[in-house]
Structure 1
Amino acid sequence: MPAGALLLVEAAAAVAILILLIVRARLSPLIALILVSLGLALVAGLPAAGIVKAFEAGVGSALGHIALVVGLGTILGKMMIESGGADRIANTVIDRFGAPRADWAAMAVALIVGLPVFFEVGFVLLVPIILVVTSRLRLHPLRLGLPMAAGLSVVHAMVPPHPAAMLATQAFHADLGLTILFAMIVGIPTAAVAGPLYARLIVPRLGPANPPAVFRETVAERALPGFAITVGTLLLPVLLMLIGSLAPSLAAPGSALDQGLHFLGSPVVALLAAVLVSYWTLGLARGLSMATIERYTNECLAPTALITLIVGVGAGFGRILTDSGVSGALVALAGQWHVPILLLAWLIAALMRVATGSATVAMATAAGIVAPLAAANPAVRPELLVLATGAGSVVLSHVNDGGFWLVKEYFGLSVADTIRSWTVCETLISVVALVLTLTLSALL
C-alpha cells in the first residue's frame, strides 16, 4: 500500500477508535483525545521525542484564543442570566416572532451577529439566550441551537471580512462587493436548510440534552433590565469587532488610528469591554453588589474548564494529523483527480477540513493551491471560487474540530447526537452551498 494511502487508513482508524472509546467505553473525551493523538503519532512514524511537543503546540495554539473567548463569553452570559437580561430578550423574541418562528429568528440573529465575529465568539455570545428561550418554550436546546450555529457557520465560511474568506477573496482576486452579494444569495438558503429545516427533522430523534448548570439558573424576582440596554450590551463586542474589521477603510494602514482600531476590534479586547460594561448595565445598575458580581464571575468559570481543555486537545489531535502527513496525503490525492475547478476548490478544502478540523486552515490551504489554476481559467468567476472553497471548509465537522466540542458540551449532548445534529448540519451547509454555487455559475 502506498505511504499516503496507509496514512489515510491510519487516520480513519484513529477517528473510529476515538469515537468508540468515548461512546462505547465511556472514556472522557479529554483522555480519549490525548490517547488517540499520541497513539496515531507513534503509528504514523513521528519521532517519539517530538510527539508530545507537537501535540502541546496544537493544544496551545487553540487555547491561546479559545480559552479567553470562552471564559469572557461565559462571564457575559452569566451576567445576562443573573440580571434577567436573557429573560428580557427571550420574552421579546417569543412575543415578536412567536414560538413557531423562534428558530427562524435564531438563524436571522446569528447571520447578523456572525458577520464581524468568529464562530466561537458568536456562539458563546448567543448560547445563553438560546438556552433561556428553549427552556421557556419547553423545547430541546438544539431546536433553536442548530439554526443559530448554522447561521454563524455560514457567515464564518463564506462572507468577508472573516479572515479565511477575506484571504480567499484576495488569493483569487475576487471583487469584494460581489463576493459578499453572492455569499448572501447562497448563504441564506443554505442556512435555512441546514438550520431550521434540518433541526425540525432531527431534534425529535435526539436524546435529552443536559446543558451546563451555569446557564440554567433562574433569576431572582426583580424588575428585568430594558431590552435596549440588554441588546446593546450583548452587541457591544460585535460592534467593536466590526469597527476593527473596517479599520483599513477608516484609517491609513499602519497609522496609530489603524492600530488602535485593530486593538479594540480584537475578540479578547471586545469581549473584555463588554464584560466590564455588563458589570454596570446588568449588575451594579440592577442593584447587584460587586461582591455578588465577583461570585458570579468565579462560579461560572469553573464549568468552562473541561469545555476549554476538550477544545484544546481536539486541536492537538488536528496538529498530529497535520504533522504526520495526513493533510499532505489528502492534498496529493486531490491533485491526482481531474475535476472542474469549482469542484476541485471544494474538494481540497473539504479534505483539509476533515484532516485538520479547522475551517480557516482548510480554506487558506485550498485557496493557495487553487489560485494558480484559477488564474489560468478566467472563465470561472473568482467570487464563486471563494464560495466553493468556503463551502468545502465546513464539511463533516468531527472530533478534531473545536466547534464540535463546543456544541456538544454547551448543549449537553452525547457524541452520537452531536454527530447526528451538528456534523450533519455542517455537511448540509457544505453540500447545499456547493450545489447553489454551481447553479449560480451555470446562470451567470
Structure 2
Amino acid sequence: MSSLLLAAPTTTAGTPQLIVAAVIGIAAIILLIVWLKLHPFLSLTVGAGLMAVIAGVPYLKAFNSFSTGLGSTVASVGVLIALGAAIGTLLVRSGGADEIVDTVLAKTPLQRLPWALALVAFIIGIPLFFEVGVVLLIPVVMVAARRAKVPLILLGIPALAGLSALHGLIPPHPGPLIAIAALKANLGMTLGLGLLVALPTVAISGPLLARYMARWVPIEAPALLGEASHEEGQRRPRFGVALLVVLLPVVLMLLATLAETMGFAKSAAGQALTFVGTPLIALLITTLLALVLLGTALGTGRDKVSAIVGSSFGPIAGILLIVGAGGGFKQTLVDTGVGNVIASGLAKSALSPLLAAWLVAVLIRIATGSATVATITASGIVAPLASGLPATHVALMVLAVGAGSVFLSHVNDAGFWLVKEYFGMTVGQTFKTWALMECVLSVVALAFIMLLSLVV
C-alpha cells in the first residue's frame, strides 16, 4: 500500500478543484447505482473517469490510475477471494459448515449466538487480513443464520464488527503496525490498550447494534456461492477436521507473525514460517488440504471434487469485477492527492491531538476508501503531534488513527462491495448495516480512547 502514497499525483489542480472532483465523482457513483440502476462495475468506472477529468487529469490518462488500481486490487484481494470461495464451497458441500454450525448451535443458546460469532471473529481475526476473515467466516455465518432461522444481519454484523475492529486497532494487522512505527509507540502498550478499547467496542457495534439492524434489514441468508444441498447419508467431516480447515490459515499467519515479533524471521525456520504465513500461500495450502480432508478422504471422487471447486469460481466473477472497480476508483482518488490535501489542513488546526488524529484518518478513509492508506497517511501527518506526549497517549493516538481509518465504508471501498455482494443486499441496505456499523464502531472506539486518555 505504501506504493500508492509514493505515486506522483497525475494532476496539479488546486485544493478546491480536487475536493469538488472527489465530491462529484462519489455523488455520480451513488446516483448511477441508486437512481439509474446502472451496474456497480460500470458506475464505478464512469465515476472514476469523471472525477479524474474534473481534477485536471488529461483525457488520454483519465483511466490510467483506475486500471492500475483495478489490477492491483484483483491481484491481491481477488486471489484471496477465489481461494476463500473454494474453501467455503468445500466446507458447505462436504457438510463441514453444517458440522461447525450444529456444534455451535448445540452449545450456544439462540440469544447468545451473535455474541459467540463476534467472539469467534474477534479471535481468528487477530492475525488475518480483513478480506481473508470475511471469506472464511461467511459460510459459517450464513449456514448458522439459515439453520437458526434468524435474519442474516443479526449474526453477520457481529462477525463483521469483530473483524473490522481487529483490522483497525490491533497489531499485527498492517495498519496498526505502520502507525506504531510512524508515531514511535510501544507495541506492547498499544496492544494492551487496543484490547481494552476493542472488546467493548465490538460488543456495542456488533451484537447490541445488530438487534436493531436486523429489524431494519430483515433479510434471510441467501444461497452460498456455489452452494448445493449436502446429500443425506453422505459422510460429513468431524467437527475437529472442519475447524482445522477454517483455522489452518489463521495458525500459519500467526506463526509468521510470531517469527517476526520474536526476532528470528531471518533464520531458516523464520523464513519458512514467513513463507507459509503469507496470506496467499496460507490459503493455497488450506485449499489443497481441504481437497483431501473435505473431499477425497470422505469418499468423494476426484472428478467431483474438481467440479465442486470449479463451481465456486463462476459466481464470484461479478464480485471480483466490482471489488476491482472499487480499488480502481480508490487509486484514482489517491493519485490526485485529494487525501493529503484535506488531511494537511486539518492537522494544523487547534484540536486535541487524539481527535485530530481520528479526524485526519476519517477524511482520508472517506476520500480513498482504504483503511490502510488512511492509517499510513494520517500517521505521517500527525506524527509531529505525538512528540512530547506520554507513552500511553502516543499509543492512544495510534488507536485513534486506527479507529478513524474504518469510518464510513462506502462506494469507493472494496470492502463495501464485498459485503454487499456476499450478503445479497442492495446498496441502500448495505449503507443501513455495514456502513453504519463501521461509523458506530469508529465513534465508539474514539469515545473509549478519549475516556482512557483521562486515566492513563
Q: Secondary structure at the match of 1:443?
A: coil
Residues 1:376 and 2:388 are matched in the alignment: yes
Give a deviation string over 1:184-203, Cα, whole Å, max 9, x none: 11101111111111111012
Cα distance change of structure 1 residues 20 and 249 upon mapping to structure 2, 3 Å threshold = closer
Residues 1:26 and 2:37 are matched in the alignment: yes
Give a deviation string over 1:295-332, Cα, whole Å, max 9, x none: 01111101111101111110111111122232122113
Decide whether the 8 Å contact of 2:142 with 2:221 is kept in 1.
Answer: no
Decide whether the 8 Å contact of 1:182 with 1:384 is kept in 2.
Answer: yes
Q: Quote the Cα distance in structure 1 between the aligned partners of 2:285 and 2:265.
A: 24
Q: Quote the Cα distance in structure 1 between the aligned partners of 2:227 and 2:264.
A: 46
Decide whether the 8 Å contact of 1:207 with 1:417 is kept in 2.
Answer: no
Give a deviation string over 1:101-124, Cα, whole Å, max 9, x none: 111111000001100010000000
Q: Quote the Cα distance in structure 2 between the aligned partners of 1:165 and 1:413.
A: 30
Question: By how many angstroms is 1:372 displaced?
Answer: 2.3
One-letter amino acid of the structure 2 residue matched with residue 33 of structure 1:
L
One-letter amino acid of the structure 2 residue matched with residue 183 of structure 1:
G
Q: Quote the Cα distance in structure 2 between the aligned partners of 1:266 and 1:306.
A: 26
One-letter amino acid of the structure 2 residue matched with residue 342 of structure 1:
L
Q: Quote the Cα distance in structure 1 between the aligned partners of 2:274 and 2:237.
A: 31
Decide whether the 8 Å contact of 1:5 with 1:329 is kept in 2.
Answer: no
Residues 1:200 and 2:197 are matched in the alignment: no
Residues 1:91 and 2:102 are matched in the alignment: yes
Q: Quote the Cα distance in structure 1 between the aligned partners of 2:220 and 2:363.
A: 31
Q: Quote the Cα distance in structure 1 between the aligned partners of 2:221 and 2:166.
A: 28
Q: Which residue of 2 aligns with 1:159?
A: 170
**Residues 11-410 of structure 1 correspond to what in structure 2 (within 5 A)?**
11-206=22-217, 208=219, 211=222, 213-214=224-225, 216-221=227-232, 222-250=234-262, 252-378=264-390, 381-410=393-422
One-letter amino acid of the structure 1 residue matched with residue 231 of structure 2:
A
Decide whether the 8 Å contact of 2:396 with 2:453 is kept in 1.
Answer: yes
Q: Quote the Cα distance in structure 2 between the aligned partners of 1:335 and 1:186.
A: 24
Gaps of 5+ in 1: none
Q: Secondary structure at the match of 2:225?
A: helix
Q: Quote the Cα distance in structure 2 between the aligned partners of 1:248 and 1:204.
A: 44
Decide whether the 8 Å contact of 1:212 with 1:412 is kept in 2.
Answer: no
Question: By how many angstroms is 1:250 displaced?
Answer: 4.9
Q: Quote the Cα distance in structure 1 between the aligned partners of 2:388 and 2:107.
A: 51
Match of 1:4 among 9, 15, 18: 15
Q: Which runs of 4+ in 1 moved over 4 A?
A: none
Q: How high is the TM-score relative to the length of structure 2?
A: 0.94
One-letter amino acid of the structure 2 residue matched with residue 381 of structure 1:
H
Decide whether the 8 Å contact of 2:189 with 2:392 is kept in 1.
Answer: no
Cα distance change of structure 1 residues 213 and 237 upon mapping to structure 2, 3 Å threshold = closer
Decide whether the 8 Å contact of 2:366 with 2:409 is kept in 1.
Answer: yes
Decide whether the 8 Å contact of 2:18 with 2:338 is kept in 1.
Answer: yes
Decide whether the 8 Å contact of 1:394 with 1:427 is kept in 2.
Answer: yes
Cα distance change of structure 1 residues 213 and 176 upon mapping to structure 2, 3 Å threshold = closer
Q: Secondary structure at the match of 2:294?
A: helix
Q: Secondary structure at the match of 1:116?
A: coil
Percent of aligned positions with the same letter in both sequences? Answer: 41
Residues 1:420 and 2:432 are matched in the alignment: yes
